[in-house]
């Protein structure tokens, strides 16, 4: 399993109506310094409707100005549709909507092979 596959597995654990920071996802990977790698992985998300990359925001709650699937406005719209509230136009209320990091670290030891890999064979 690649690092990107591990990122996708972790991001799938973020419940609807909650968000995680890039750093939280990196920490769940085992190295908080991999925040940029998390961003790279999400930017090339192979299953945007399945892997909820819109639920990952900056540490201060700011949505990504470079959201790969429609820009920051689309990310805000997707999060609002899930019930996530904002402090202003671009910052999620992290005190209320940040997922606890331990939820991201729980789970399967050997996740199922992603569908996009199975279909590539």
For 34, the 3-state DSSP assignment is helix
Please say if 53 is a catalytic residue: yes
Catalytic residue, from 18, 29, 53, 63: name it.
53
Query: Could you tell me what percentage of the chain is helix, strand and coil, using 3-state DSSP and rounding each to the nearest 5?
Result: 45, 10, 45
Do you know the residue count of the chain? 121
Sequence-distant (≥ 6) Cβ neighbours of residue 119 within 8 angstroms: none
Residues with a catalytic annotation lie at 53
């Amino acid at each position: 399993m690649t690092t990107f596959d591990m990122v996708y597995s972790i991001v799938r654990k973020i419940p609807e109506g909650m968000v995680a920071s890039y750093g939280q996802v990196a920490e769940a990977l085992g190295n908080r310094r991999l925040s940029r790698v998390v961003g790279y992985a999400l930017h090339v998300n192979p299953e945007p409707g399945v892997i909820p990359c819109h639920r990952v925001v900056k540490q201060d709650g700011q949505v990504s100005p470079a959201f790969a699937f429609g820009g920051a406005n689309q990310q805000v719209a997707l999060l609002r549709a899930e019930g996530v509230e904002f402090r202003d136009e671009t910052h999620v209320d992290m005190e209320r909507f940040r997922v606890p990091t331990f939820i991201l670290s729980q789970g399967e030891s050997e996740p199922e092979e992603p569908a996009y890999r199975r279909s590539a064979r």
